[in-house]
Structure 1
Amino acid sequence: MYVLIGGAGMMGLELAETLLDMGHTIAVVDTDALACQYAREKIGVMAFEGSAVNTTTLMEAGIRKADIVIASLREDALNLALVTLSRHYRVPQIVVRMRDRDFAEPYQLAGATHIISTTELAINRVVNAIEYPQVDAMMHFEQGQIEVLKLTIPQECYIVGHRLAEIAQDPRFPAGTLIIGYQAHPHEDLMIPNGNTLLESGSTILAVTKPELVRKMLDFMGLCSP
């Protein structure tokens, strides 16, 4: 896909490098000549020096053929302008980094398809690390109505050696929780499990649950009986 990134700050450049490694074609737009030079010479992407909210610069950067525009400029007001212009040029996907929550509704009205609050993400990660240190990773969906947990199965936990169907039937297993991913060993691929999947010691699972069931799920995972 052709991805146009507005802003060559730390986030914009790291995104450019990551997306390039994934096989996408990347163009970066920024007023900083040194940042553009770095993007070209060190990362190997196209970089256009100029304002990301200037129509001439955007046309040069190929906004008409962009599959995705990522607005990661320094100010929400500038990002809002870029979202509006991207919508005008009929870009299918418009991703914006939001700094101030007051811009959430304006971004939606302007046509952003994905709004990422970097502040909220950072806060959530810190809170999760404090509140649930047992969790390898946690992601929130639908405004926090759904949680996806990445958990390592304790070595001595009683569920080791049992099949997923048995675990799901255990009355202590939180109702409404689903195990949607399984990785037997770190060097193996993540797989979609079924009822016959055998859980091994030290393996990793991905579980979908409700926020109010997270603690119950962790307690269940900690039931280490013979």
Structure 2
Amino acid sequence: MYIIIAGGGNSGEALAKTLVKEKEDVVLIESDKDKAEKLSEELDALIICGDSTNIDILKDAGISKADAVVAMTGDDKANLMICEIANQANVKRVLARINEPENEALFIQAGVESAISSTNSIVTDFKNVLRGKSSKTVATLAAGAIELIEIYIGDNSKIVGKTVSNVGIDKNVAKISSIERSGEIIIADDTRIINKGDILGVIAKSSSAKKIVEHFEKK
């Protein structure tokens, strides 16, 4: 893929390095001259020093042939502008980093395929470590108000043998959406019986996520 990354900060640099290792064709735009020079020495990628919100800079980066544009600057307004230019250029995939979670709706309205909150990502990583290995938050939605959680059902969980509709949770707070069993993904309907070893995909309000995980893991 031909991928343009706007913003050569820590996150942009890390993404660029990963994509270069995977043999993707990467162009990275960085406004700071010293940083751009440093990146050009370290990365096997085209580095352009300039303002990513400038349409001429994006044209120089090859936006007309880009398969994807990833806006990774530390300014949400700049990232939104970059995404709007990419959409106007009919780029197939437009992604953005969000620095302030409350701005997520703006990116969604702008038609951004995936808007990832750096704050929510960090919170999710720490939350997964604190919860342990039996459950993990896969994603956060609605500015962090909703979580998609994977919960491993151990041998002694009290919900083993029960149907999805009879696990004892308030459907206004959480809902089992899927079951992973022996490598197969099953869409969870109310009559599906939960077995030990299942991994449940659960959509839950973040305020209730901890209690939901504890309920499913409880013996």
State TM-score, norm by structure 1.
0.70
Shift in CA distance, 208/136, structure 1 to aligned 2, threshold 3 Å: closer
AA at the equivalent of 2:162: P
CA RMSD of aligned residues (A): 3.3
Shift in CA distance, 102/172, structure 1 to aligned 2, threshold 3 Å: closer
Which residue is 2:59 aligned to?
59
Gaps of 5+ in 2: 168-175, 187-195
Measure the CA separation in 2 of the matches of 1:127 and 1:104: 21
Measure the CA separation in 1 of the matches of 2:163 and 2:109: 45
Measure the CA separation in 1 of the matches of 2:134 and 2:10: 28
SS at structure 1 position matched to 2:94:
strand
Gaps of 5+ in 1: 160-167, 183-190
Which residue is 2:95 aligned to?
95
Measure the CA separation in 1 of the matches of 2:160 and 2:133: 24
AA at the equivalent of 2:137: M
SS at structure 1 position matched to 2:23:
coil
Query: 1:129: Cα distance to partner?
Result: 4.0
More strand by share: 2
Query: 1:9: Cα distance to partner?
Result: 0.3
SS at structure 2 position matched to 1:208:
strand
Query: 1:36: Cα distance to partner?
Result: 2.3
Shift in CA distance, 145/138, structure 1 to aligned 2, threshold 3 Å: closer
Checking the alignment, whether the CA contact within 8 Å between 1:95 and 1:114 is kept in structure 2 is yes
Measure the CA separation in 2 of the matches of 1:62 and 1:116: 24
**Aligned pairs (5 A) from 1:1-226:** 1-130=1-130, 132-135=131-134, 137-140=136-139, 143=142, 144=146, 146-149=148-151, 151=152, 157=155, 170-171=161-162, 175=167, 176=176, 178-180=178-180, 191-192=183-184, 206-211=199-204, 213-219=212-218, 223=219
Query: 1:67: Cα distance to partner?
Result: 1.1
Measure the CA separation in 2 of the matches of 1:124 and 1:97: 15
Aligned residues: percent identity?
19
Measure the CA separation in 1 of the matches of 2:179 and 2:106: 37
State TM-score, norm by structure 2.
0.72
* 1:144-165 superposed Cα distances (whole Å, 9 cap, x missing partner): 264224x596xxx569xxxxxx
Which residue is 1:163 aligned to?
none
Shift in CA distance, 101/171, structure 1 to aligned 2, threshold 3 Å: closer
